[in-house]
A and B are shown apart, each in its own frame.
Chain A
């Protein structure tokens, strides 16, 4: 296979687009496409301050790399979750890689360690809250959303960007569709508007396959954490990704079509009734002052106060 742009040997085969590219042209194509999606979905403008949530993984570090290549004012936020042990120091290693990335490029990285600030790491919080049955993923999600929003708001960022790729989004969509989660479907979008103390959230990589994000990180020489989060092994999200990849192997472009057609249907009003319900006014948590869907303390504050 040859590069469509220059005719040299292709390093990447984007089967969903019937496009082969050499390393150089792939590394030009990715930021150009990202810029296109930022504009198409009206994520943010050139003068807005972006906070990138970085985990030390391929997607978030690549996103930060792409945004800075495009000239955006993008700082990073790393949350220390306290996951891992001496044998597999997952959080310590991901923190090291995020710091290394930032230092090597002269970028600003904000770091917050959940255990230091709240007295308990994510696995400890899950245990004390009796949630997750040994798998703290839901607690981790609540904590990350809470802290990312708080920090973006407190530090005056206009927008919070995460490195969710198309495989992440398609897996969530697949799960929500399997369960006909009508309340969750309209909440999935490349941009979640900011309102009532909630930061605007954007996913500039939502149209890129996970495989292409890994290719970008490798070709850009980005050192990222290769080992899985120990709690994600055997997770439903990985199972759904594998199912979708089996479909993709037989029908190139199927994953992309599944997600993009969902976005088109959503924009066309398919979930209008549910969208009206998600726009209901929010309450303020009496402890942290952040918006919450229910009266009283938010989920995170209830968890940490146990």
Chain B
């Protein structure tokens, strides 16, 4: 009953059935700092995450 969020190689497991936004908050990931990609497609915060899937998170903040 879990979903994997993968950010810079680190996996975060969250419950399936929540929105992406709630999942990010549960995983203590700032939503403004990442983009979420499911099977090559970008998804937005209200998307419900499904059991067993892996969501790739792309960090968007850079310095310099």
| Chain A residues within CB distance 8 Å of chain B | 1, 10-13, 20, 23, 55, 57-59, 137, 140, 167, 209-211, 213-215, 218-219, 226, 228-229, 232-233, 235, 237-238, 241-242, 245-246, 248-249
Contact with A12, one of B44, B59, B61, B63 (Cβ below 8 angstroms): B44
Q: Counting chain B CB atoms within 10 Å of each CB, which of A13, A167, A218, A237 scores highest?
A: A13
Is B60 within 8 A of A137, CB to CB? no
**When the two chains form their complex, are residues A10 and B60 in contact, meaning their CB atoms are under 8 A apart?**
no
Q: How far in angstroms is the closest Cβ of chain A from B47?
A: 8
The majority secondary structure among interface residues of chain A is: helix
Q: Is the CB of A215 within 8 A of B64?
A: no
Cβ contact within 8 Å between A248 and B32: yes
Interface residue total, chain B, C-beta cutoff 8 A: 20
Cα–Cα, bound, A12→B47 (Å): 12
* Chain B residues engaging chain A, CB cutoff 8 angstroms: 30-35, 37, 41-46, 58-64
| Chain B positions within 8 Å of A57 at CB level | 62
Given contacts A59-B62, A137-B64, A211-B32, 15 further A-B contacts (CB under 8 A): A12-B44, A13-B45, A57-B62, A210-B60, A211-B34, A211-B35, A218-B37, A218-B58, A219-B42, A232-B63, A235-B63, A245-B32, A245-B33, A246-B32, A249-B31
A241 to B37, CA, bound (A): 22
From A1, A218, A232, A248, B35 is in contact (CB under 8 Å) with: A218
Number of interchain pairs (Cβ within 8 Å): 76
Interchain nearest-CB distance for B40 vs A (Å): 10
User: In the bound complex, do residue B30 and residue A215 qualify as a contact, i.e. CB atoms below 8 Å apart?
Assistant: no
- State the Cβ distance, A228 to closest chain B Cβ, in Å: 6
Asked whether, in the complex, the Cβ of B44 is within 8 Å of the Cβ of A10, the reply is yes
Instruction: Pick the 8 closest A-B CB pairs, nearest first.
Output: A232-B63, A245-B32, A214-B60, A13-B44, A238-B63, A235-B63, A11-B42, A211-B60
CA distance A154 to B63 in the complex (A): 29
Please give the distance in Å from B63's CB to the nearest CB on chain A.
3
A229 near B35: Cβ-Cβ < 8 Å: no
Question: What is the predominant secondary structure among interface residues of chain B facing chain A?
Answer: mixed
Q: How far is the CB of B49 from chain A (nearest CB, A)?
A: 15
Cβ contacts under 8 Å, B31 to chain A:
249
In angstroms, Cα B61 to Cα A217, docked, is 13
Whether B61 and A241, one on each chain, are in contact in the complex, defined by CB atoms closer than 8 angstroms, is yes
Question: When chains A and B are docked, how far (Å) is the Cα of A121 from the Cα of B44?
Answer: 42
Q: Which residue of A lies closest to B46 (CB)?
A: A1
Whether A214 touches B30, Cβ cut-off 8 Å, given contacts A1-B44, A23-B42, A235-B63, is no
User: How near does chain A come to B10, taking the closest CB pair, in angstroms?
Assistant: 15
Give the residue among B37, B44, B45 with the most A Cβ atoms within 10 A. Answer: B44
* Shortest distance from the beta carbon of A81 to any chain B beta carbon, whole Å: 10
Q: Nearest chain-B residue to A244 (Cβ)?
A: B32
In the assembled complex, the CB of B34 is this many whole angstroms from the nearest CB of chain A, namely 8
* B30, B43, B46, B64: the one within 8 Å of A232 (CB): B64
Sample 19 A-B pairs with CB under 8 A, ordered by A number: A1-B44, A11-B44, A12-B42, A13-B44, A58-B62, A59-B62, A211-B32, A211-B60, A214-B60, A218-B35, A218-B37, A218-B42, A228-B62, A229-B62, A229-B63, A232-B62, A233-B63, A241-B63, A246-B32
